[in-house]
Structure 1
Amino acid sequence: MKTQAYVLAEKDAPFKLEEVELAEPEVNEVLVKITACGLCHTDLGIQNGGLPSPYPNVAGHEGSGKVLKVGSAVTRVKEGDSVLLSFAHCLDCGPCKIGYPAACEQFGAVNFGRQRNAQIGSKPGIKGAKGEEMCVPPALLSLSEFCQRLRTLCDNSFGAFFGQSAFAQHAVVVETSVVKVPSDADLVMLAPLGCGLQTGAGAVLNFLKPPKESSISIIGVGAVGCAALFAAVYLGIKTIVVVDLVDKRLELAKSFGATHTFNAKDPEIVKKIKALTPYNMGTEYSVECTGNKAAIMTAWEALANRGHLVSCGTPGPGNPLPFGIFENLLASKVHLILLRPARRAKDEVDLPNRAQTYTGLTEGASNPPESQHVQLYNEGHFPVDKISKTFAMDKLDDACHAMHTGETIKPIIVFNP
């Protein structure tokens, strides 16, 4: 079928709305009429090359919509269902089998690989849409055309991005990317749950699970940081510290329930955060949401002994952690008396005594089929509407500008009102 999609022809090219031809869904795929799609910094990373990707490409990975058609092996949804779209996963690896699809061992292949690997858990004897024999992974029977679901009319083939390619009026996605929601769900406001919002909220709700009497710092109040804040407020955490460079966003964080806010430019920010905690130890938990190295260091230095920092952002490929294992991880200052021939010298050295934990987390350790975030939105605990602004299908450039300038925290593109 023909549809409209935003195509990136090459690195640094503009998003161009083009007519494309969409392949028919295979046995384990779903055809979705896209209602809306959130704009994420990852999409811009595809455009500027910060996230390596082949071209041409159709970005968009926070989609929502209505199911138009399902493959013969699909069981999660049926025609007419309202759905949110999230990351794809294989269902066949260890993490998937124990209910941790965000750590899927085939995550890269099924979301970004643009080609199937028929050698992984292959299962012969499945018929494709044209009656051909297929040898495909048992959990993703449709991957025969994973890298060729979408074609431009000039026959440049390219695959689904992040399991979706939802910057389009229609998308063909693997079944594991589909999350059924109630028929009356707000498909526009809930679209961003597919990535950014579940990443921040999941870091708190699914992974850190801080107790009420604890303390947490949230570094960066973009969409991911706001979601982490929503989750922390929902849990009733006693001390919630929010850090950002933009004062207006700090004011917004206060209105959402942050107990303390600091501008990241404050030269004494670490000292001030620690002063809010018992014995000046620092926060017991932290969620870093920017990927900026200086922000990661602020979160780390303000973390308590035995504290846990989760990093949801990334500075991009090839960037090591900004702290050394010995110099910063284990920074308890002591004095040692060093015995040397004919004299004694007093030298200051670092010895290990902190036991902090750093975790890089994907997709908030989320299991997409769970409806917790939708329920929190319906109950008023997840005010996505207060950080979002909608844009018409032909206004993607305006949405990108609004995100770049900070005018809007979460732009949402409406493809089919």
Structure 2
Amino acid sequence: MRIKAAVVHDKGENFRIEEVELSDLKRDEVLVKIVASGICHTDAVARDIGLTPFPAVLGHEGSGIVEKVGPDVKTIRPGDHVVISFASCGQCEHCLTGHPGACFKINELNFGGKDEDGDYRIFQNGRGVSTFFGQSSFATYAIAKERNVVKVDKDVDLALLSPLGCGIQTGAGTVLNKLKPAFGSSIAVYGCGAVGLSAVMAAKIAGCKHIVAVDIHQNRLDLAKELGATHVLNGKEADVVKEIKAVTEGGTHYAVETTGVPAVVRQSLQALRPLGQTAIVGVTPEMTIDVHNEIMAEGKTMMGVIEGDAVPKLFIPQLIAYYKKGLFPFDKLIRFYAFDEINKAFEDSAKGITVKPVIKISA
């Protein structure tokens, strides 16, 4: 079928809304009319450095209404409201034990540009166009595997729910699923974008006594305070490690590092108390760490966390339930843009004007 999609033709280029051809459904797939798609930092990285082959249709936080399902699909029906999350194989050791974010094929399925059978889903002028995260939701329609499609409540604005598929799930899940902070413990969150602020809200849900938010943008620190941070620090002005140790009487039990900035990664380690744990979720370059003094000598742990170690079909409905109870007000992060404003939305995100841009694609 012919659809409209925001296509990136080469590294660093702007998105162009163009006509493409979407392939027919396979037996275990779902066709979704996209209502909205969140913009994640990973989309910007893919556009700028080429995480997936070009040309590509990016977008990996889609929400929409199911239009058609393959004959083997059992849990999703036409008319269902859904959020589309990341792709996983469903068969490897980690998928089968509830850790699909660590799927053995996670990179191939999300960044390889083709489906798990090695086929293109999207074509333009007879040429294959890469699919992103098994969905490519910067488009009027998307195809995804049943296991990556999450049925959601129809009484919540569907456009609002799209970012739950990746960024918000990552921040909240890193706290609630992986770190699992004890009631009354302390945590620092480095970077107050959508991922970091989701971690702040999750830490409040978990009952952390000290929730320290670190950023260089005052407007984001103000929002962190509103969402549950007990203390905020401007990384340009404060001695972050010294102040965190003073506030928490020795350092935090936990940290979530979202920035990927090497100096900040080291701060997240240095500001831990002995036996503390840092979860790295930001895209981080090669860097130097003093393993003895910053990790081993005080029994600290540094771990990578992918997609909040979440099972999306379970975790996303839980986050929606928290939202409906007023405990997870992620709507305060979001600003909506029209489909043809997609390049402006990316610019506003890069400048820090908007925490979480969401592109409205159809009504």
Pick the TM interval, shorter chain: over 0.9
Residue 357 of structure 1 corresponds to 301
1:381 Cα offset (Å): 1.6
With normalisation by structure 2, the TM-score equals: 0.96
* Superposed CA offset, 1:216-272 (max 9, x none): 000000000010011011122111111000112111111112111111123522111
1:320 Cα offset (Å): 2.8
Name the count of aligned residue pairs. Answer: 361
* Residues 296 and 322, structure 1, Cα contact 8 Å, conserved in 2: no
Q: 2:261 aligns with which of 263, 279, 292?
A: 292
Higher helix share: 2
* Residues 283 and 307, structure 1, Cα contact 8 Å, conserved in 2: yes
* Superposed CA offset, 1:105-154 (max 9, x none): 111122222346xxxxxxxxxxxxxxxxxxxxxxxxxx43x5411111x1
Residue 107 of structure 1 corresponds to 106
Output aligned runs, 1:150-299, within 5 Å.
Answer: 150-152=122-124, 154-278=125-249, 281-299=250-268
Residue 6 of structure 2 corresponds to 6
Q: Which SS does the other structure have where 1:189 is aligned?
A: helix
Output aligned runs, 1:9-408, within 5 Å.
Answer: 9-49=9-49, 51-115=50-114, 143-144=116-117, 147-152=119-124, 154-278=125-249, 281-315=250-284, 319-330=285-296, 353-370=297-314, 371-408=317-354
* Residues 12 and 48, structure 1, Cα contact 8 Å, conserved in 2: yes
* Residues 147 and 160, structure 1, Cα contact 8 Å, conserved in 2: no
Cα distance in 2 for residues equivalent to 1:5 and 1:415 = 10
2:348 partner letter: A
Percent of pairs identical after alignment? 42
Q: Which SS does the other structure have where 2:36 is aligned?
A: strand
Give the gaps of 5 or more residues in structure 2.
none
Residue 409 of structure 1 corresponds to 355
* Residues 286 and 309, structure 1, Cα contact 8 Å, conserved in 2: yes
Q: Which SS does the other structure have where 1:372 is aligned?
A: helix
* Superposed CA offset, 1:186-227 (max 9, x none): 211110000000000000010111012110000000000010
Taking only aligned residues, the RMSD between alpha carbons, in angstroms, comes to 1.3
Cα distance in 2 for residues equivalent to 1:47 and 1:15 = 9
Point out the more displaced range, 255-264 or 197-206. Answer: 255-264
* Residues 147 and 158, structure 1, Cα contact 8 Å, conserved in 2: no
With normalisation by structure 1, the TM-score equals: 0.84
2:103 partner letter: C
Q: Which SS does the other structure have where 1:92 is aligned?
A: coil
Point out the more displaced range, 387-396 or 375-384. Answer: 375-384
* Residues 95 and 102, structure 2, Cα contact 8 Å, conserved in 1: yes
Cα distance in 2 for residues equivalent to 1:277 and 1:261 = 13
Q: Which SS does the other structure have where 2:88 is aligned?
A: coil
* Residues 53 and 112, structure 2, Cα contact 8 Å, conserved in 1: no
* Residues 30 and 175, structure 1, Cα contact 8 Å, conserved in 2: yes
Cα distance in 1 for residues equivalent to 2:292 and 2:121 = 49
Q: Which SS does the other structure have where 1:4 is aligned?
A: strand
Q: Which runs of 4+ in 1 moved over 6 A?
A: none
Q: Which SS does the other structure have where 1:75 is aligned?
A: coil
